[in-house]
Structure 1
Amino acid sequence: MTSRSADIQRALFACSPLAIVTLDAAGTINAVNAAAIELLGHDQADLIGKRAQIVFADPRAYDQLEATRFNIPSGMPEGRFTARYRTRNSRIFDGETVAARVASEGAYGTGTLLFIRDVTAELALKAKLEASDIQLRAALASANEGAFSLNLVTRLGSTRGFINEFLGIASADATISLERWLEITAEDDRARLAEAFETLRTHPTHPLDIVFQATRADEVMRWLHMRGKVTEFNRDGSPLRVSGVIADTTERHALETKLAARERQLAEAIEFGSSGVWEVNPATLKVAPIGPIRAMLGLTDEEVEIDGALWLESTHEAERGEVARQLRAMAEGTSNVLDVEYRLRDARSGNWIWLRSRGALKPDTEPPTAVGMLFDITELKQLELKLAETERLMREGLEGANDGAWSMDVQSNQLTVSGLISRLLTVEDGATITLDDWFSLLPADGEPVARSRFRDFTDQTRDQTGAGTSQDLGRFRVIGPDSSEVWLRSRGRVVEWTPDGQARRAAGIVSNITEERRLERALAESDRRLREALLAAGEGAWRINLRTRIGEVSAIIAEMLGLPPRDARVTYDDWETRIHPDDLDTAREAFMALRAGERDSIDIVVRYQSEVGGWIRIHNRGRISDRDTHGNPTVATGFIADITERLATQEALADREQQLFQAVTAAALGTWRIDLVDQTINLRGTIVAQLFGDDETRTLPISEWREHIHPDDLVAVDASVAHILTVDDVQADDQYRLRDWAGDFVWHRSTGRIVERDENGRATAASGVLWNIDATRRLESLMAEERARFERIYRATPAMMHTIDNEGFIVEVSDFWLSHLGYKRSEVIGRRSTDFLDPESRERAINVELPKLFQMGKNTHTAYRFLRKSGEPVDVLLSSFLERDKEGNPVRSYATLTDITELKATNAQLERTNRELDRFATVASHDLQEPLRKVAAFSSLVRRRYSDKLDEDGARSLDYLADAAERMQRLINELLSYSKLASQPLNLTDIDMSALVRDIIDQLETPISENNAQITATELPVIQSDRVLLTQILQNLISNAVKYRGKADPVITIKASEDESGRTFIVADNGIGLEMRFAEKIFAPFQRLHTRDQYEGTGIGLAVVRQAVERLGGTIRVDSEPGKGSTFIFDLPRTPPKPRGEAD
Structure 2
Amino acid sequence: MSTLSSPNNLLSREELLRRLEETEETLRAIRSGEVDALVVSGAQGDQVFTLKDATLPYQILIEQMSEGALTLNLQGMILFCNERFAEILDFSMEIVLGRSFLHFVIPGDQARARELLEQRPDGRSRGELTLLGGQAEVPVGISLKEIQLDGELRFGVVITDLTERKQVELELKHHKENLEMLVQERTKELQESHSQLSRAEQIGEIGSWEWRIPENRVTWSDGLYRLFGLAPHEFGATYDAYLERVHAEDRERVRQIVDNALLTGGVFECESRILRKDGQIRYLYTKGETLPAEPGESARMIGIATDITERKRTEMKLQESEARYRGLLESQLDLIVRVDLAGRFTFVNDAYCQKFGLKREEILGRESYQPLVHPEDLPHTLEAMKALYRPPYRAIMEQRAFTLEGVRWIEWQDSAIRDESGTIVEIQAIGRDITARKQAEAALRESEQRLNRAQEIAHLGSWELNLVNNQLTWSDEVYRIFGLEPQEFGATYQAFLEAVHPDDRAAVDAAYSGSLREGRDGYEIEHRVVRRSSGEIRIVHEKCEHFRNEDGQVVHSTGMVHDITERKQSEAAMQRITEDLLRSNAELEQFAYVASHDLQEPLRMISSYIQLLARRYQGKLDSDADEFITFAVEGANRMQNLINDLLAYSRVGMRGNPFAPVSAEYLLEEALANLQLAIEESGAKITHDPLPIVDGDAIQLGMVFQNLIGNAIKFRGSKPVCIHVGVTQAENEWLFSVQDNGIGIDPRFAKRIFVIFQRLHERASYSGTGIGLAICKRIIQRHGGRIWVDSEAGKGATFYFTIPMKETL
Q: Which TM-score applies when normalising by structure 2?
A: 0.40
Higher helix share: 2
Higher RCO (CA 8 Å, separation ≥ 6 residues): 2
User: Normalising by structure 1, what TM-score?
Assistant: 0.29
